[in-house]
Amino acid sequence: MAANRIDWTNGSLEKLDLETPRAKAEEIAAKFKKEIEQGKLPFCSMGYMPSLLHDLEGMEQFVRGFEHMLLLGIGGSALGARALQKAFFPQQDQPGHEGPWLWIADNVCPHTVEAYLEKLPVEKTLVVVVSKSGGTIETISQYFLVRQWMRKKLDDRWNDHFLFVTDSDNGFLREQANEHTVRSLEVPDNLGGRYSVLSAVGLIPAMFMGMDYASLVEGASSVLSSLAAPDLNGEKLSRHPAFELACWNAALMDNGYNELIFFSYIPQWAWFGQWFAQLWAESLGKQGKGSQPLPAVGATDQHSVNQMFLDGPRNKACLFLTCPALPEGMAFPDDIPEKFAYIKGKRFGELIHAEGLGTRMALSKNGVPLVELRMGEDNEEAAGNLMGLLMAATIFTGWIIGINPVDQPAVELGKRLAKARLGADGLEEEKGDLASFLKAERNEQEF
């Protein structure tokens, strides 16, 4: 594989205190090593991988025998699959596609669910329900509706059209798998949603789309294996690009850079920005710390949010994703008016590079600390490498800034309040709080 590179040239390194986070390398290496040994970082050690790859091989014929996959999941249980779909299965959004089709239902939208149930051919559809906890209401509520639809159409064969990806022992979905003999794959212990793309969570849809998922895993493993190795120490860690990225980010946060742009100049990889945004935000937004991820895609967002990046508040840094090896594209025709003569003799693919360079330089000139992640290729292996790098960088950043990057306590309140609103048992305090919130005198205006 052509090498992927981090280009620090425009990272404003001279303005940042990188020594303070770097000084934590020894301590963080020891903690990482210990957690690897305790099985707490499976995204990195990937001990589950040989048996998963074996299971996937055994399931390939079954899964790929369907024309439609309807994936029910939300957050980390859906975003990795969508990023892979947009990057490596773009044909589904292009004219003339004749299948297979992957549909990702990651919301509670009545229009969308009804459309799926009205239009999907039941006999040719596999429903994959993805939930680590097995009890997420957005996912499970869709499961109830889809199961009813399947039961009506297929009677007692409904369970043959389902596949669950969930915890091996716990949760409602696991109980359902046991009760109804539904095929299932496990999400390994300690592998939270946003770190789970390289488990069955992301690899089942990847396999369905015909992606080279083994290369995706290899790409991740090549950046993560030295971190999982028993000889990890402070010196080795301090040379690892994931740790360097973490030090850069921690130093930026310390300097008031509280927004982090993820600017993809690989158009089909735009959804990696959304995947990264969830990884970064849910992992690091704690105790008033972190930086707000801002996913953007070139060239589209040059005509949208880029003005704010360039000349808005000076609180933004940028991860800038490029790939010089993108296809050259079609040659422009000869009959191009004088006004546009500068593209004569060029190919369409040159635009994205020129625009990327222009934006990168403009951001740097405007004082935005920017690190370029330059991919050698835009294939599965490179994508795995990028995802592995970013997951490890997120963990290290969290540890450097002193928060736990694998929980998400603040989002629980909204979930409890929604359940209280729907009348779930218990939750008396939330019910009381809701009543006072709703009782407040309204201050409203018509528009």
> Which residue in 15, 54, 152, 415 is the catalytic one?
415
Query: Minimum distance from CB of 149 to ligand PA5 (Å)?
Result: 21
Query: Minimum distance from CB of 144 to ligand PA5 (Å)?
Result: 15
> What single DSSP character describes residue 200?
H
Q: Is 75 in the site for ligand PA5 (CB under 6 A)?
A: yes
For ligand PA5, the closer CB: 370 or 406: 406
Q: How far is CA 177 from CA 162, 165, 167, 200, 215, in A?
A: 9, 10, 11, 16, 30
Q: Is 133 in the site for ligand PA5 (CB under 6 A)?
A: yes
Structure tokens at 211: 């992606």
Q: Is 174 in the site for ligand PA5 (CB under 6 A)?
A: no
- Closest to 102 in 3D by CA, of 142, 148, 60, 67: 67
Q: Is 132 in the site for ligand PA5 (CB under 6 A)?
A: yes
- Candidates 77, 125, 176, 291: give the one binding ligand PA5 (CB under 6 A): 77
Site string for ligand PA5, 403-422 (x = CB under 6 A): -----x--------------
Q: Is 21 in the site for ligand PA5 (CB under 6 A)?
A: no
Give the Cα separation of 156 and 20 in Å (integer).
62
Q: Is 221 in the site for ligand PA5 (CB under 6 A)?
A: no
Q: Is 192 in the site for ligand PA5 (CB under 6 A)?
A: yes
Query: Which residue in the block uniquely carries the two structure tokens 């310390």?
Result: 254
Enumerate residues 222-261 that contact ligand PA5 by CB under 6 A: none
Counting beta carbons within 10 angstroms of the beta carbon of residue 128, is it exposed (0 to 12), middle (13 to 18) or buried (19 or more)?
A: buried
> What single DSSP character describes residue 340?
G
Q: Is 199 in the site for ligand PA5 (CB under 6 A)?
A: no
Q: Is 316 in the site for ligand PA5 (CB under 6 A)?
A: no
The SS3 call for residue 221 is helix
Helices (H), 109-187: 110-119, 137-154, 172-180
Degrees (nearest 5) of the Cα angle 173, 174, 180?
A: 85
HSE (side-chain half, CA atoms, 13 Å) at 351: 16
Q: Is 142 in the site for ligand PA5 (CB under 6 A)?
A: no
- Candidates 139, 142, 291, 359: give the one binding ligand PA5 (CB under 6 A): 139
- Candidates 4, 85, 125, 131: give the one binding ligand PA5 (CB under 6 A): 131
Q: How far is CA 144 from CA 112, 113, 147, 184, 416, in A?
A: 15, 11, 5, 17, 20
Q: Give 211-226 as a DSSP string.
A: --HHHHHHHHHHHHHH
For ligand PA5, the closer CB: 12 or 196: 196
Q: Pick the piece of the chain touching ligand PA5 (CB under 6 A) from 129-137, 285-293, 348-356, 359-367.
A: 129-137
Q: Is 74 in the site for ligand PA5 (CB under 6 A)?
A: yes
Q: Is 415 a catalytic residue?
A: yes
Q: Is 282 a catalytic residue?
A: yes
HSE (side-chain half, CA atoms, 13 Å) at 196: 29
Which residues are registered as beta bridge partners of 261? 294, 318
Q: Is 193 in the site for ligand PA5 (CB under 6 A)?
A: yes
Are 398 and 390 within 8 A, CB to CB? Answer: no
Largest CA distance in the chain: 73
Q: Is 42 in the site for ligand PA5 (CB under 6 A)?
A: no
Q: Pick the piece of the chain touching ligand PA5 (CB under 6 A) from 97-105, 189-197, 232-240, 416-424.
A: 189-197
For ligand PA5, the closer CB: 77 or 184: 77
Structure tokens at 389: 């790098």
Query: Which residue in the block uniquely carries the two structure tokens 């696991």?
Result: 174
Closest chain position to ligand PA5 (CB): 193
Give the Cα separation of 130 and 202 in Å (integer).
10
- The secondary structure element, H or E, covering residue 202 is helix 200-208
Give the Cα separation of 245 and 243 in Å (integer).
5
Query: Minimum distance from CB of 158 to ligand PA5 (Å)?
Result: 21
Query: Minimum distance from CB of 276 to ligand PA5 (Å)?
Result: 12
Query: Minimum distance from CB of 79 to ligand PA5 (Å)?
Result: 8
For ligand PA5, the closer CB: 282 or 381: 282
> Which residue in 282, 372, 381, 430 is the catalytic one?
282
Q: Is 194 in the site for ligand PA5 (CB under 6 A)?
A: yes
Helix axes 200-208, 213-228, angle to 10 degrees: 150
Query: Minimum distance from CB of 270 to ligand PA5 (Å)?
Result: 20
Q: Is 302 in the site for ligand PA5 (CB under 6 A)?
A: no
**Residues contributing to the site for ligand PA5 (CB under 6 A):** 74-77, 131-133, 136, 139, 192-194, 282, 408
Catalytic sites, residue numbers: 282, 303, 415
